[in-house]
């Protein structure tokens, strides 16, 4: 151990202890090599296999976790952001890597963070094959850290989900979110903590619990619900609702000339979202282009497959709502009915 390096703020021994911990939690003794290994024989068999990769982070939701000193679920958010994107391409996630950059290696805190990553990988049925914990004392403050992830999935080329698969008359099926998930937190924090100075232990009647509990709900991982649909090829396209809300993300799942029309009021909206709209005096456009409005994924399904999709979701204990249809139109996303905000 270099005393000089430790005096400069980097504790290599602490990093070694973190590696031992994550090896034990993940059950992968190969962690710690220069690269992660994944046997191709473990991947799903495909006639014309295509690897689908995705990378993402958790954004400023991390600042809420840091302020609350609650780090056990933020790793689930990380895995979810990556594997849900892969699902939206029509691929089944196979392996995952994480990157944790921090100012000081507090072993208990790092263990909590990585426990969330391991739990997320278990929920996604994907292998954690590697990662990096980088202690950088002049880059981050002692209490601050950043978290990023990288996931790879596999699909048969002909089964990839593309906007071109969508047709007029298709049905929109929404899968409910677990609250805000991991998007819009710069606006959330601005409204709650800068404009109004609420504390994390503040309880709003409409929420029924404190802000800390609400804001740190982990992002839902949809692998169990969506994987059977991909295998059965019963979905035309999928939108994972992340930054940009319903407007931007659903538009990405549609070809030009088609419009997704949402029937507002046909699904429940988590109370945190109208609360934020009221406190922040947000317009309908603000809300729709920032938050998921209670839908973490939107499946676009041909009418003849709706019954099969609905039955499969029910069999996997996944709540779902028919929230609209696809029609010809120039606006990619249209809302009709009672406004949520």
pLDDT for position 25: 67
How does residue 118 score in pLDDT terms, banded at 50, 70 and 90?
very high
Domain boundary, last residue among 139, 159, 179: 159
Q: What is the pLDDT of residues 25-46, one digit of tens each?
A: 667 666 666 777 787 775 656 7
Q: What is the pLDDT of residues 95-109, one digit of tens each?
A: 999 999 999 989 999
Are residues 206 and 150 part of one domain? no
Q: Indicate the number of domains in the chain.
A: 2
pLDDT for position 211: 98
pLDDT for position 232: 95
Q: Is the pLDDT of residue 11 over 90?
A: no
**From CA 104, how far away is CA 134, in angstroms rounded?**
9
pLDDT for position 340: 45
pLDDT for position 337: 80
Domain boundary, last residue among 159, 177, 194: 159
Q: What is the pLDDT of residues 167-197, one digit of tens each?
A: 999 999 999 999 999 999 999 999 999 999 9
What DSSP state is assigned to residue 146? E
- Residue 68 sits at the vertex; the CA angle it makes with 110 and 138, to the nearest 5 degrees, is 55
Q: What is the pLDDT of residues 216-263, one digit of tens each?
A: 999 999 999 999 999 999 999 999 999 999 999 999 999 999 999 999
Are residues 214 and 155 part of one domain? no
Are residues 259 and 152 part of one domain? no
Are residues 253 and 135 part of one domain? no
Are residues 182 and 320 part of one domain? yes
Are residues 191 and 100 part of one domain? no
152 Cβ neighbours under 8 A, 6+ residues apart = 38, 51, 52, 53, 54, 86, 93, 94, 95, 96
Q: Is the pLDDT of residue 274 over 70?
A: yes
Are residues 155 and 173 part of one domain? no
For the beta sheet containing 127-135, the strands, ordered from the edge strand earlier in sequence to the opposite edge, are 49-57, 145-156, 92-102, 127-135
**From CA 106, how far away is CA 131, in angstroms rounded?**
17
Q: What is the pLDDT of residues 71-95, one digit of tens each?
A: 999 999 999 999 999 999 999 999 9
- DSSP-assigned letters across all residues of 301-329: E-GGGHHHHHHHHHHTT---EEEEEEEE-
Are residues 144 and 32 part of one domain? yes
**From CA 118, how far away is CA 128, in angstroms rounded?**
7
More confident residue, 123 or 11: 123
Average pLDDT, the chain: 91
How does residue 341 score in pLDDT terms, banded at 50, 70 and 90?
very low
Domain range for 99? 3-159
**From CA 269, how far away is CA 246, in angstroms rounded?**
13
CATH number of the domain that residue 53 is part of: 3.30.1330.10
Are residues 317 and 180 part of one domain? yes
């Amino acid at each position: 151990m270099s005393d000089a390096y430790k005096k400069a703020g980097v504790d290599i021994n602490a990093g070694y202890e973190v590696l031992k911990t994550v090896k034990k939690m993940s059950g992968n003794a190969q962690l710690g090599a220069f690269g992660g290994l994944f046997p191709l024989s473990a991947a799903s068999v495909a006639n014309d296999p295509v690897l689908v990769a995705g990378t993402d982070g958790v954004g400023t939701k991390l600042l809420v976790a840091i302020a609350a000193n609650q780090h056990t679920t933020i790793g689930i958010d990380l895995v979810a952001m990556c594997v849900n994107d892969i699902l939206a391409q029509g691929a089944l996630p196979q392996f995952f890597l994480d990157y944790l950059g921090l100012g000081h290696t507090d072993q208990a805190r790092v263990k909590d963070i990585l426990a969330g990553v391991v739990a997320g990988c278990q929920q996604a049925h994907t292998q954690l094959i590697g990662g990096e914990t980088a202690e950088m004392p002049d880059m981050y403050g002692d209490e601050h850290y950043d978290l990023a992830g990288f996931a790879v999935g596999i699909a048969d080329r002909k089964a990839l989900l593309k906007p071109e698969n969508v047709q007029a008359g298709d049905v929109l099926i929404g899968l409910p979110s677990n609250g805000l998930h991991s998007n819009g937190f710069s606006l959330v924090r601005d409204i709650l903590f800068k404009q109004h100075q609420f504390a994390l232990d503040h309880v709003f009647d409409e929420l029924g619990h404190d802000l800390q509990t609400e804001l740190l709900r982990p992002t839902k991982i949809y692998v169990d619900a969506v994987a059977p649909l991909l295998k059965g090829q019963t979905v035309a396209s999928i939108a994972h609702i992340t930054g940009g809300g319903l407007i931007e993300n659903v538009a990405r799942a549609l070809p030009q000339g088609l419009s997704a029309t949402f029937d507002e009021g046909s699904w429940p909206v988590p109370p945190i979202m109208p609360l934020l709209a009221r406190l922040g005096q947000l317009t309908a456009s603000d809300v729709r282009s920032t938050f998921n409005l209670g839908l973490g994924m939107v499946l676009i399904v041909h009418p003849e497959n709706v019954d099969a999709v609905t039955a499969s979701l029910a069999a996997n204990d996944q709540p779902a709502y028919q929230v609209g249809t696809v029609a010809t139109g120039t606006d990619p996303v249209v809302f009709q009915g009672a406004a949520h905000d």
